[in-house]
Structure 1
Amino acid sequence: MASIGIDLGTTNSCAYTVEGGRPEVIVNAEGGRTTPSVVAFTKDGERLVGTVAVRQAAMNPDRTIASVKRHMGTRWSKAVDGKAYSPQELSAMILRKLKTDAEAYLGQPVEDAVITVPAYFDDSQRQATKDAGRIAGLNVLRIINEPTAAALAYGLDNGVPQKVMVYDLGGGTFDVSIIEIGDDVIEVLATSGDNHLGGDDFDERLADKLTRDFQAAHGIDLTADRAAHQRVKEAAEQAKKDLSALESTTVNLPFLAQGPAGPIHFETVVTRMEFDSLTRDLVERTTTPVVTALNDAGIAASELGCVLLVGGSTRIPAVQDHVQRLTGKTPSASINPDECVAAGAAVQASTLAGACTGLVRADSLLLLDVTPLSLSIETVGGVATRLVERNTTLPVHYSQVFTTASPFQTSVEVKVLQGERPMAADNKAIGTFRLKGIKRAAAGVPQIEVTFDIDANGILTVSAKDLDTGKEQSIVIDDSDRMSDAEIEQAIADAAAYAAQDEQRRASLSVHDDAQRLLAQVDAALAAHGKELEKAEKKAVQTDASELRRLLNKRPAGFTKKQREAAAAAQGDDTEAVQAAAERLRATAADLLAKGEDTAE
């Protein structure tokens, strides 16, 4: 039974297999090397996928669905004839066609597949992709990152150990990865990206310009006419492709609209200079992820052995020029940007299925991907205590021992977070569970081991175990609990924008926690040894303790979202006052605290 590799793209999808020791493209039923990621439903209830769906899109726009990949891992759905279709279901229709075409092309059943996703897809998006494969009747051997697959395809013919940048600008997503290619090892050093940037955005910019030009010339708004607007979008996409090779192109759309005097034809010339001006900011948006990936990998652009361009949108000359300016290297033209991802996935599928590819030994190829965002749990004071750092190599198994914050706790709530901020309230809560049956003991005595396990597909399992009683509870973070792509982008953007504020808040919280502990120690010492103090000394301790308690009670030690702005504005003077009051109390109660320590010994 054959295994295949699938690049499930926003605009186009592609399938490969390994034959005679080499990756080979699977030509679809229409004779194409790639299949448009488009699904349509006719009024008669027939389902169309791929090229045939694209051909009727202008006449049937309400029943034609494209760019589903941008909605993976979300609750978005598309209703057609009263039935709502999820992104997984629509993606499964595309995968089913790829599977059927592969079986016809190879002449044998196909079940096993490796499916690729953008490196910056979060866990819910990966799980949704895996579910789509299962719905399509595929046994998904592995979900791997697109840049990793592209680097694998490149490394097959370029076996020299080196560090490679994969700049992947597809139809709907952009990501950049720094990858090290070694002997039978493809290791991702760092990844970054933008899940809402791709060829669709370039098409939209040009389509909007054409629509405005038509309205200026004829006074008709084409956005009100779905069929006409779809034709403009298709013309914009074709013009974009033409301008990758030509300095100018003509957009010709006969009978585009109906005016008072009859049909209106639209013809205009678009130059590459105009197109570059319209999309310059989109190209510039790729700069920050490139710089971030290089910094996270700890290398300079000059250390790169090669820059690989992946995705059809990298054919845009302005994109190629931008990459060369950023890296100082001429991008490699040795791989097909439309097909290399599927080719690499096919090699991995063949390896995982136990077949000998003739390129690598069965089971010898090791792909080491990374997690796109840091993972943490909420601890005392609303702090996000990080267990797994962003860009940690997968798979991950990490444990850390925590304890209780209150005396005689018999249960603890474990809140799992994803994001880069130090405070729990500023990160995304992706799952919560409660560990019960903890042995009753004083605060700080129980030993609770929290473990994060992330498999090679990026699926996360979190468990908590009381090391004394052996009680254990775990949770698998599933679709509904995960972050959306927009939330991931916002999490990293917030971390950069508010880094200074976060550090100040963390310092403030540390001061307040130290003061709370000091108060608790003084109260305990007063209860045990207060009678041994002189009246004036005892009064001084109580006065300073009351002042510190008053300051601490003015506001909570933690920060809720509603309190954030007020706390951030007030915390400077307030923190200094708390710190000063704590120092006074520590000095006044020095002898008393010493008595308490002597008693404890």
Structure 2
Amino acid sequence: MPTEKVVGIDLGTTNSCVAIVEDGTPVVIPNRGGYKTTPSMVAIAENGKRLVGHIAKRQAITNAENTVYAAKRLIGRKWGSAAVRQSLETVPYRIVEGPHDDVRIMLRDQVFSVPEISAYILQEMKLITEEYLGEEVQKAVVTVPAYFNDAQRQATKDAGRVAGLEVIRIINEPTAAALAYGFGKQMERRVAVYDLGGGTFDISILEIGNGVFEVMSTAGDTFLGGEDFDRRIIDWLVAGFQREHKIDLRKDKMALQRLKDVAEKAKCELSSVRETEINLPFIISTGRNEALHLQTTLSRDKLEELTADLVERTIDICSRTLEEAEVSKSDLEEVILVGGMTRMPLVQQRVAEFFGLEPCKGVHPDEVVALGAAIQASALTDEKHEILLLDVTPHSLGIMIVGGYFHKLIEQNTTVPTSKSHVFTTVKDNQTSVKILVLQGESDRAEENELLGEFVLTGLRRAPRGEVEIEVTFHISADGIVSVTARDLETGLEQSITVTATSGLTEDELKKMVEANKDYMVEVRSGQEFDRARHNAEKVLDEVEALFPRVSDIISGSDFGQDAVKKARGVIERVRGAIAQKDLAALTEGTEALSRTLNMFRGVVSKTGA
């Protein structure tokens, strides 16, 4: 029995990519346009139609307010977080507060959760794969930045569920890249993976040897990437225009989207040329009905000056990670560059200077993560694969204790899956319940860390303080998702949670979204089938209609001939009606009859030599 196909998906901030292992080799699956990556963009058109990928990107300028990009930077975040505040100021689409202190996005008059937006991108990846394979795909391994916290991981899993995919494993992006780098090679070496993508930065130190990929240390910044480099170019263009014309282009959403477009293009071009022209005619109209143009030149030197501090931030994080892993630069044998931003010459130069190594050019920065996810997917479903992946938790985990302190139960960079228990006692006389606040972070002060969730253990025996003992156990799964149990050691009473509170979606909301998307998948699938059937029918129609006058002249002299011509007209009308009604069953049936008519017409023409 053939094994079920499981895909690897790199759900990126700017672009997404899907791969699969075929005959033992991981391959990236191109989309309908033949591109290996698909823009992570979702839009709602004026007619209410949902657009995803290239088609969403193409209309982003004219429909800026209803086109979402970089949703990954918002996934799993709380409404009050600094990242959300920054996004509120910079994106043209509307970000609103959700019912669970989470983030929602308003497009037209509809409100969407961030996992829903990500689900539409995952769904597109699912459709691309199904078209390629000719069969349904239900399972996937999805990648996330290594520095994603529990809420962000859980929200990504939710997105998979809404898309109709069972996410069998969440895997860290740098780890996936290392898997693809080491796949099928007999090697023993210690490597650093420097991953600077569209919205996030990760650095991981790994030990690779005999099919074992062990992460020693990981760190990052989930709000540092290509988007921030684009923003620096936009700010520079806006400041120059404001000096010249006293107009702030950021106030106009269409102008802002055009600036974003041109900033991204200029940044990419400057990886291969020393300077580039930026030309935006009719960028804005003044009150006096006069159109203004933006025209300037951006040099690579200027871009490096504008963004040098962003690159230095990544280098500082690298330095910290090496320290934590107690690894010196001389212990590393290879530095692997991942993510589109690593094409920037300044990034390559600073990485080479810091590590004292020329970065490895042997992997494709846009595809390597999806390929690694596909390798992991194959390893999880095929017993013949001898790959062992030992990843770590990027953040320390623990609970709040008396005095507002944070007690760590699991330290950061602990290999997962893992469990850890600790016994705590009551702090007041006759205390009958305890509230367990589950936190993730590195600060000793509880309030400075991320609150993952909370629960209450009730029914404790009344006793003097310190007498009742409560055992708290943390478990982190291989996906990096946390569950916590608190148990009264005397009575065995137990209370537990899987920490999902901050994904921002309740189980009911999730179920509704899953159902709504099933309908959408049926709609998309049958829509695509209908398009194919219509295309076939129109080809046959064209041929029949081209032959019709000649055949009619030849055979309409007899009763039989007139009858045949009448029947042929009826078939043509039936097919045209089915196309107009979008009736797939009638169209399939009509096309079969039309093909028989075409064969008869061809026979008549060839016999008479007309």
The TM-score with structure 1 as length reference comes to 0.76
Specify the SS of the correspondent of 2:392.
coil
1:326 to 1:81, Cα distance in 2 relative to 1, 3 A: same
2 CA distance for matches of 1:208 and 1:403? Answer: 54
1:392 alignment partner in structure 2: 414
The aligned runs of 1:284-295 (5 Å cut-off) are 284-295=312-323
Alignment of 1:33-72 (within 5 A): 33-72=36-75
Check 1:224–1:184 CA distance in 2 against 1; reply closer, same or farther (3 A cut).
same
SS in 2 for 1:245: coil
The match for 2:453 among 409, 416, 431 is: 431
2:314 and 2:446 map into 1 onto residues whose CA distance is: 29
Q: Supply the distance in 2 between the matched residues of 1:348 and 1:320 (Cα, whole angstroms).
A: 28
> Quick one: which amino acid aligns to residue 215 of structure 2?
V
AA of the residue aligned to 2:335: V
Q: CA deviation at 1:37?
A: 0.4
Where does residue 208 of structure 2 map in the other structure?
181
Instruction: Find the aligned partners of 2:345 and 2:33 in 1 and give their Cα distance.
Output: 30
Instruction: Say if 2:338 is the partner of 1:310.
Output: yes
Alpha-carbon spacing, 1:210–1:454, altered in 2? closer, same or farther (3 Å): same
Q: 1:474 aligns with which of 491, 496, 505?
A: 496
Residue correspondence of structure 1 range 102-113 to structure 2 within 5 A? 102-113=129-140
User: 1:403 maps to which residue?
Assistant: 425
Q: Which residue of 399, 404, 407 corresponds with 1:377?
A: 399
The aligned residue for residue 34 of structure 2 is 31
The CA distance in 1 between the partners of 2:132 and 2:473, in whole Å, is: 46
Q: Check the 8 A contact 1:410/1:436 in 2, yes or no.
A: yes
- 1:48-106 Cα shifts (integer Å, max 9, x gaps): 11111111111111111111000000322221222111111111111111100110011
CA shift in 2, pair 1:436/1:229, >3 Å: closer
Q: 1:427 to 1:271 in 2, by over 3 A?
A: closer
Deviates more, 1:422-431 or 1:39-48: 422-431
User: Which of 146, 157, 173 lines up with 1:130 in the alignment?
Assistant: 157
Unmatched tracts of structure 2, length 5 or more: 78-101, 505-610
Residue by residue over 1:233-288, the C-alpha shift from the partner in whole angstroms, topping out at 9 and shown as x without a partner, is: 11111111110011111112233333558544433221100111111111111122
Alpha-carbon distance, 1:433 to partner: 2.3
Deviation at 1:225, TM superposition (A): 2.4
Task: Give 1:325 shift.
Answer: 1.3
Q: Does 1:87 align with 2:109?
A: no
Q: Give 3-state SS (helix, strand or coil) of 1:378's partner.
A: strand
Q: Find 2:170's aligned residue among 127, 135, 143.
A: 143
Deviates more, 1:441-450 or 1:1-10: 441-450
User: Number of residues paired by the alignment?
Assistant: 476
Q: CA RMSD in A?
A: 1.9
Residue identity matched to 2:63: N
Pair 1:17 & 2:20 matched? yes
Between stretches 448-457 and 121-130, larger displacement belongs to: 448-457
Query: Which residue matches 1:204?
Result: 231
**Partners of 2:433 and 2:246 in 1: how far apart?**
68
1:98 aligned residue (109, 122, 125): 125
Residue of structure 2 equivalent to 1:232: 259
- 1:467 Cα deviation from its structure 2 partner: 2.6
* Structure-2 separation of matches of 1:407 and 1:265: 74
**Shift in Å, 1:303:** 0.6
Change (3 A) 1:339 1:406: same
Retained in 2: the 8 A contact 1:179–1:186? Answer: yes
Residue 403 of structure 1, CA deviation: 2.9
Q: Tell me the CA shift for residue 431 of structure 1.
A: 2.6
Q: What corresponds to 2:183 in structure 1?
A: 156
Q: Please list every run of 5 or more consecutive structure 1 residues that lacks an aligned counterpart in the other structure.
A: 483-601
On the 8 A contact 2:150/2:452 being kept in 1, the answer is no
2:358 matched residue in structure 1: 330
Q: Distance in 2 between matches of 1:23 and 1:235?
A: 34
CA distance in 1, matches of 2:247, 2:433: 66
Cα deviation per residue 1:308-345 (whole Å; 9 max; x = unaligned)? 11100010000111111111111100000101000000
1:249-260 equivalences under 5 Å are 249-258=276-285, 260=288
* Offset of residue 181 of structure 1: 1.2
Change (3 A) 1:233 1:408: closer
Give the SS at the match of 1:84.
Answer: strand
The answer as to whether partners of 1:123 and 1:479 remain within 8 angstroms in 2 is: no
* 1:114 and 2:136 matched: no
CA positional deviation for 1:107: 1.4
The answer to whether the 8 Å contact 1:125/1:479 transfers is no
1:281 aligns with 2:303: no
DSSP 3-state at the match of 1:89: helix
Q: Residue 418 in 1 paired to residue 431 in 2?
A: no
> Residues 100-124 of structure 1, C-alpha deviation per residue, up to 9 Å, x if partnerless?
0110011111111000000010101
How much has 1:425 moved relative to structure 2?
Answer: 4.3
Distance 2:449 2:244 in 1: 49
CA deviation after TM superposition for structure 1 residue 3, in Å: 1.2
Contact residue 430 and residue 481 of structure 1 kept, 8 A: no
Contact 1:128 1:479 in 2 (8 A): no
C-alpha separation between the residues in 2 aligned to 1:467 and 1:40?
A: 53
Instruction: Report the counterpart of residue 344 of structure 1 in structure 2.
Output: 372
Q: Residue 471 of structure 2 aligns to which amino acid in structure 1?
A: E
SS at match of 1:369: strand
- What is the Cα deviation at residue 228 of structure 1? 2.2
CA distance in 2, matches of 1:386, 1:465: 18
Structure 1 range deviating more: 53-62 or 73-82: 73-82
Return 266-275 or 129-138, whichever deviates more: 266-275
Compared CA separation, residues 481 and 16, structure 1 to 2 (3 A): closer
Q: Secondary structure at the match of 1:18?
A: strand
How do residues 504-519 of structure 1 correspond to structure 2 at under 5 angstroms?
Answer: none
- Seen in structure 2, the aligned counterparts of structure 1 residues 445 and 43 have a Cα distance that, compared at 3 Å, is same
Distance 1:383 1:47, change over 3 A: closer
Are the structure 2 counterparts of residues 218 and 464 from structure 1 closer, same or farther at C-alpha, using a change threshold of 3 Å? closer
2:369 is paired with a residue whose SS is: helix
